[in-house]
Amino acid sequence: MEEVSLKSFLGSFSLFENFNDNELDLISNYFQLETFPKGVTILKQGDSGENIFLIKSGKVNVSLRKPGDVNLTIGEIGEGEFFGEVSMFSGGPIIASIHTLEDTTCYKFARNNLDLLRNLDLALATKIEHSIAVSSAQKIIHLLKLLRELYSHSQETKSVGHRGLPVLVLPFKPNPAAKSQRISDFKFNFSRLREMEILSEFSDDEIQILLKYPTVIQCEKGYPLTAKDNHLSECAIVYSGALQEHGKVLPKLSIVEPGQMYGELSIILEDHGIFSAMARENSVILSFSEDDISKMHAENFELWAKFHRVICLEVINFLYNADRQMLRFEAESKDF
């Protein structure tokens, strides 16, 4: 009876609304029901996160620990919502603490269960990762819009790097005269590729195969990369140089450096109007079009699944940085 109840719950939950009955049957085996009494801490800020929690009943608050062990309440979440996905997926530290406001029952899904599923049914595990990434991307857009509004009233003018660090950037003024060209016989420095964290989970052979799919684009400084640009219809990895992002929801300019990805939100949300970019300096990028990614999916599903996971992790890391920025503004706006 409990399994039927869980399957029904998962099917109505936003994360799994596009999963069929067979998929829900299989996923149900990996969730654990857990009840927390009022007044306990489920997740502690700074600890390593291993689980995502789907709230079946009850309510929790989200709090940020400030210097002097002061806990600042940021918000509340309840039935039908979830938490813990960022640290569970990325393996990074928990951003904020979660405390129960009343007796709370959750379905818990552990990171190692995703690993088990990946070995049992790679397609299903990838679908779960994609669903979490879509939800995270939607949260990012919401957070960035809020941050843009907050920054518009702030005296702070520094821009942020791709990982959320302050950087000095050029004015966002693309050069219409700047050119780009496709390079069919580009000679890669394999050691440079091997040092890129974004490719750290790929073997040497897998990297060699992966390089068959993107178009290599050499861009002059100031070259504009837009949603309508035939060269960059999906996402790209910067090989050398740097890109400078801007967009209708970005609170600040952002720099994409070698080994980092541009366009991950666009590919997950299937919306190519989110950001614009230009080459901040003479740059070389690996551009993966929709056709490139579809071809990879058809020819080498395991490689595609690994590449898709990289894209999902980039989205999760983006959400992590956006969450940290939002929590910082929330904390600074509170009067202690």
Q: Is the pLDDT of residue 328 over 80?
A: no
User: 243-274, pLDDT tens digit by residue?
Assistant: 887 654 454 557 889 999 888 877 887 765 66
Q: Tell me the pLDDT band of 157, cut-offs 50, 70 and 90.
A: very low
Q: Is the pLDDT of residue 106 over 90?
A: yes
Q: Is the pLDDT of residue 331 over 50?
A: yes
Q: Tell me the pLDDT band of 8, cut-offs 50, 70 and 90.
A: confident
Q: Which residue has the higher pLDDT, 214 or 140?
A: 214
- Tell me, what's the pLDDT at 141? 73
| Of 26-40, 69-83, 96-110, 119-133, minimum mean pLDDT range | 69-83
Beta bridge partners of 65: 71
Percent of the chain surpassing pLDDT 70:
76
CA 231 vs CA 226, 290, 292: distances in Å: 9, 11, 12
User: 193-212, pLDDT tens digit by residue?
Assistant: 999 999 999 999 999 999 99
- Tell me, what's the pLDDT at 174? 73
- Tell me, what's the pLDDT at 213? 95
- Tell me, what's the pLDDT at 103? 97
- Tell me, what's the pLDDT at 37? 97
User: 24-77, pLDDT tens digit by residue?
Assistant: 999 999 999 999 999 999 999 888 889 999 999 999 998 877 655 666 777 899
Summarize the confidence of residues 81-87 as an average pLDDT: 87
Q: Is the pLDDT of residue 175 over 90?
A: no
Phi/psi at 185 (nearest 5 deg)?
Answer: -120, 40
CATH-assigned architecture of domain 2-120:
Sandwich (2.60)
Rounded to an integer, what distance in angstroms lies between the CA atom of residue 14 and that of residue 80?
A: 8
Length of the chain (residues): 336
Q: What is the chain's mean pLDDT, rounded? A: 81
Beta bridge partners of 237: 261, 286
- Tell me, what's the pLDDT at 332? 60
Q: Is the pLDDT of residue 114 over 70?
A: yes
- Tell me, what's the pLDDT at 196? 94
Q: Is the pLDDT of residue 138 over 60?
A: yes
Q: Is the pLDDT of residue 160 over 80?
A: no
One fold for both 2-120 and 160-333? Answer: yes
Q: Is the pLDDT of residue 156 over 70?
A: no
Cβ 286 vs Cβ 231: under 8 Å: no
Q: Which residue has the higher pLDDT, 299 or 253?
A: 299
- Tell me, what's the pLDDT at 91? 79
Q: What is the CATH number of domain 160-333?
A: 2.60.120.10
Summarize the confidence of residues 297-304 as an average pLDDT: 96
Q: Tell me the pLDDT band of 230, cut-offs 50, 70 and 90.
A: very low
How is the chain split into domains, by residue range?
2-120, 160-333
Q: Is the pLDDT of residue 121 over 60?
A: yes
Token pair of 283 as six digits: 């740059």
Q: Is the pLDDT of residue 317 over 90?
A: no
